[in-house]
């Protein structure tokens, strides 16, 4: 590298990448691009985008759920930004995750909230945390009559969202 970053943390990261590539005998060609380069503008826009599907449980709700139904052992369909347990599966790469594809992950011993039929076949048990969502495609697996919890579940907590 001829030049470095004026930001120390970026310089450190660049050197770590360079050294790792060198130790793995990977040839790395670094090309400088102007901030006006359309490819950088697209990358910048993407990095600032908010993922509206990346939601989770807030601290107070998690503490209450932990008291009522915990302990929990795995956080499936999480991300590096929203996982609530040290053991988690994420479709987005992270050094901390234990798996990338929850659908290929061995669910034995873990409750898997999104595939209720798999829970039945794997004979897992656990807690399903979802809003009262009557139009959910899996609602009949949760409440076959639309109201009462199926035998797969041990308890229900329906709380009103109205203010």
Interatomic CA distance for residues 58 and 35, integer angstroms:
37
Give yes or no for residue 77 having a pLDDT over 80. Answer: no
Number of domains in the chain: 1
Is 84 strand, coil or helix? coil
Among 141, 112, 133, 106, which residue's Cα sits nearest to residue 124?
112
Would residue 22 count as lying in a domain? yes
pTM of this structure: 0.43
In contact, 80 and 97? CB cutoff 8 Å:
yes
Phi/psi at 84 (nearest 5 deg)?
-110, -5
Interatomic CA distance for residues 163 and 159, integer angstroms:
11
Would residue 63 count as lying in a domain? no
Confidence of residue 25 (pLDDT cuts 50, 70, 90): very high
Determine the length of the chain.
Answer: 163
Would residue 8 count as lying in a domain? yes
Would residue 70 count as lying in a domain? no
pLDDT at site 163: 40
In contact, 121 and 108? CB cutoff 8 Å:
no
Would residue 94 count as lying in a domain? no
Residue 15 belongs to domain spanning: 1-29
In contact, 128 and 142? CB cutoff 8 Å:
yes
101-150 residue pLDDT tens: 776 777 666 654 445 555 566 555 556 666 667 777 777 777 778 777 77
pLDDT at site 116: 58
């Amino acid at each position: 590298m001829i030049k470095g970053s004026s930001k120390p943390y970026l310089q450190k990261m660049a050197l770590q990448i360079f050294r790792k590539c060198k130790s793995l005998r990977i040839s790395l060609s670094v090309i400088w691009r102007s901030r006006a380069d359309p490819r950088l503008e697209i990358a910048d826009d993407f990095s600032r985008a908010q993922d509206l599907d990346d939601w989770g449980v807030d601290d107070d709700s998690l503490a209450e759920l932990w008291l009522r139904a915990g302990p929990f052992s795995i956080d499936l369909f999480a991300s590096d930004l929203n996982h609530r347990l040290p053991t988690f599966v994420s479709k987005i790469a992270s050094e901390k995750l234990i798996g990338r594809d929850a659908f290929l992950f061995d669910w034995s011993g873990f409750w898997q909230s999104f595939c209720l039929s798999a829970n039945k076949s794997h004979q897992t048990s656990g807690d399903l945390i979802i809003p009262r969502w009557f139009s959910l495609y899996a609602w009949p697996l949760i409440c076959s009559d639309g109201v009462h919890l199926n035998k797969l579940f041990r308890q229900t907590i329906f709380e009103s969202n109205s203010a």
